[in-house]
Amino acid sequence: MSGLAEGLFATLFPADCRLCGAPLTNISRLPVCLQCLSSMRPIAGGVCSVCGERLLSEHAFTGQYGDPRCGLCRRLDPPFERAAAYGSYSGGLRDLVHLLKYEQVRPAANVLGRMLSEVIAAMASNFAAAEVLVVPVPLHVRKLRDRGFNQSELIAKAALKLKPAEERLILCSKALERRRETRSQIGLSSHQRRENMRGAFAVPNPDQVYGHEILLVDDVLTTGTTAAECARVLRRAGASKIWVATVARTLKEQPSAAVPAELDQPMVMAAHG
């Protein structure tokens, strides 16, 4: 009985951090040490006020726009109002997302949810509507069956639990569905990425989203193609505005001297403009 109890305890409360391998000093359902968690910081530096991409040119901070914009958002408005993320999809944050998605460590969703709640809080002042639908990016039914959960939905639920006063944020997990599976976007050109996502999403009940502002939630924004396609589908169904909030995003590499020092700030602040 003692051996069984020790085995169960070791399973429920692992002894080593799953990210760095250091011994865990605190009992927790999340097998990640405090040092690894504290190293996951908000993105700092100048970012595009529309898509959230890192700005590499000083010219992005001048011109006709009141907010700094990347070259792409200067040329073409995306189908969403703004996109913001908490941190860079690298290092410990990337590993924590992988713990949830690929190793089914569900307690990781609570930590990621706290990060997402900070992004939402920074964007909330821009919401004009009295009621905003929170829509997680859906998985295809086959992947959902294999994984057992939609990580974006778990993270969104965890974030909304931390904002009880925001009664206007209403989780609407069935507003969007993925009609077909898509291949990985890694290695695809921009045109191939768009074709890969074309027709992948649908709104089963347009009346549910018609006239509403939508907060689209995902775990990671990489190229932005998925978020853009979801936003286009929701707009065609009658949604008034689309906002995008993610835990992490892939960023361009930061050169040695790219942006003015006074604009060094967390990405979540970019949602304010």
Rounded to 5 degrees, what are φ and ψ at 226?
-65, -50
* pLDDT mean over 18-42: 92
- At 175-194, the pLDDT tens digits run 999 988 776 666 666 777 77
Q: Residue 7: is its pLDDT beyond 50?
A: no
pLDDT for res 259: 41
pLDDT for res 84: 96
Q: What is the mean pLDDT of the chain?
A: 84
Q: Residue 211: is its pLDDT beyond 70?
A: yes
The stretches of the chain forming alpha helices (DSSP H) are: 2-12, 34-38, 71-75, 91-103, 108-123, 141-147, 151-161, 190-197, 206-209, 225-236
Q: Residue 127: is its pLDDT beyond 70?
A: yes
Q: In this structure, is the dihedral angle defined by the CA atoms of residues 82, 86, 88 and 94, taken in order, positive or negative?
A: negative
Contact 163, 117 (CB under 8 A): yes
76-255 CATH, one of 3.40.50.2020, 3.40.1710.10, 3.10.450.230, 3.30.70.100:
3.40.50.2020
pLDDT for res 265: 39
- At 35-87, the pLDDT tens digits run 999 999 999 888 999 999 988 776 665 556 568 888 888 888 899 999 999 99
pLDDT for res 25: 83
* pLDDT mean over 164-184: 82
Residues contacting residue 63 through CB under 8 Å, at least 6 positions apart = 69, 74
Residues contacting residue 235 through CB under 8 Å, at least 6 positions apart = 79, 242
pLDDT for res 142: 92
- Please give the Cα distance from 95 to 108 (Å, whole number): 10
Question: Which of the four pLDDT bands, split at 50, 70 and 90, describes residue 1?
Answer: low
